[in-house]
Amino acid sequence: MPTITVEGKGSFQVDEGKKLVLALEDNGVDILHRCGGNARCTTCRVELIAGEPGPIGEAEAAIREAKGIAEPHIRLSCQIRVHSDLTVKPAMTASESGLEPGTRPQD
């Protein structure tokens, strides 16, 4: 099972293939996902500290371009399927923004 390490929060194991946003939420990590995991809002973005999250798909590439996100270490957690150990830091949190996290993304 892959291990996810969240900077400043700790580590946990997740089932391979699980969406990163769901792995974070299910393990008590404060993260936004305002569009419900549909690669439209970019609120679920994370900074990738270590690990290989896989290639950027078409939907993620399109919204990253539209929102001007060019840094390769910034990714959308709703678009990453976990297949290896990752270390991440959420860029936006519900507690810091004052917003509700959003509709739970689909598996």
Domains of the chain (ranges plus CATH)?
3-97 (3.10.20.30)
Residue 10 reports pLDDT greater than 90: yes
Q: Is residue 91 within 8 Å of 47, Cβ to Cβ?
A: yes
Q: Is residue 75 within 8 Å of 19, Cβ to Cβ?
A: no
In whole angstroms, what is the distance from residue 33 CA to residue 49 CA?
Answer: 20
Phi/psi-derived region of residue 17, left when phi > 0, alpha when psi is between -120 and 50, beta in every other case: left
Mean residue pLDDT of the chain comes to: 95
User: pLDDT (tens digit, 9 = 90+) per residue, 48-84?
Assistant: 999 999 999 999 999 999 999 999 999 999 999 999 9
pLDDT number for residue 49:
98
Question: Is the pTM value of this prediction over 0.85?
Answer: yes
